[in-house]
Amino acid sequence: MKIILDDVSHRYGETEVLKNISFSLADGEIVCIIGPSGCGKSTLLRFVGGLERPESGKVLLSGEPPAGSLNPLTYVFQDFALLPWRTVEGNISLVLEDHGIRGGKAREVIDDVLARTKLTDFRKAWPRQLSGGMKQRVAIARALSVRPAVMLMDEPLSALDSQTRELLMDDLVDLWTREGFSACYVTHNLAEAVRLGHRIVVLSRRPGEIREIVEIDIPLAQRLDRLPELDRLQRRIWTIMRDEARAADMEIADVG
């Protein structure tokens, strides 16, 4: 399923947040959205997910979701959003229960996503027993359980320490290599964007406009072997956004 943003603009009251945003996300692609604080990255993701409507422009879905998809567009948040009174499998089963899936059919789905995310041995664990990285793996497993066409990932690694972030990026690359999922991925971390993104949408400070869309043709699985190229790319993107980021840092309100 393809997502197309066509000339999306938005304001909250007198504050212009986004201006003339146009790009697309193809099936099996990870598009990272990056920009200074307050530039409207999370607002843009809410428009993609249908949680809000833009003041002008369109967000279009083209094609069919995967067979058996329960939620074509599914969020993964930075705060994990796990229920502390449910085990790992209980947190995953919750989204299936919302669709009337219980019993043996639910167990089949849960077994599958636990295996795909390397969590089989942790199915009976409580969230309080898990590290931050493990909690985010559970959140990803929960998202996969509804067979989404696109995962909408809002700063999913920002609450983790640097070592855990690196490990989870490796896990996401491994998962994408095996399954080719699609994702619209918001981040403020340049290293994260160049490690995971097939394309990077670089936004200006508020109102967020597209400064550049950077395509990366290095296969995800080969990027750790080509770090000098990624470092050069990261420096180039930082050059594009450095002055914007400095100006945004001096502003007060973050409305997006």
The answer to whether residues 167 and 239 belong to one domain is yes
Domain residue limits at 158: 2-65+149-249
* Per-residue pLDDT, 150: 94
The answer to whether residues 106 and 183 belong to one domain is no
The answer to whether residues 181 and 239 belong to one domain is yes
* Per-residue pLDDT, 77: 86
Which tokens is 109 given?
């789905």
CATH number where 47 lies: 3.40.50.300
Provide the H-helix boundaries in the chain: 41-49, 88-97, 103-116, 132-145, 162-179, 190-196, 227-249
The answer to whether residues 20 and 103 belong to one domain is no
- Rounded to whole angstroms, how far apart are CA atoms 46 and 44? 5
In a domain? residue 70: no
The answer to whether residues 104 and 139 belong to one domain is yes
How many domains, the chain? Answer: 2
* Per-residue pLDDT, 88: 96
- Encode the chain (256 residues) as per-residue pLDDT tens digits: 899 999 999 999 889 999 999 999 999 999 999 998 888 999 999 999 999 999 999 999 988 888 888 999 999 988 888 999 999 999 999 999 989 999 999 999 999 999 999 899 999 999 999 999 899 999 999 999 999 999 999 999 988 888 889 999 999 999 999 888 999 999 999 999 999 999 999 999 889 999 999 999 999 999 988 889 999 999 999 998 887 777 766 664 444 4
The answer to whether residues 162 and 122 belong to one domain is no
Starting at the edge strand found earlier in the chain, the sheet holding 2-12 runs: 15-25, 2-12, 56-62
Nearest to 3 by CA among 182, 248, 227, 244: 182
0.85 surpassed by pTM: yes
* Per-residue pLDDT, 255: 46
The answer to whether residues 245 and 161 belong to one domain is yes
Q: Phi and psi (nearest 5°) for 159? A: -85, 5
What does the CA dihedral 117, 120, 123, 127 come to, rounded to 10 degrees? -40
- Rounded to whole angstroms, how far apart are CA atoms 45 and 134? 24
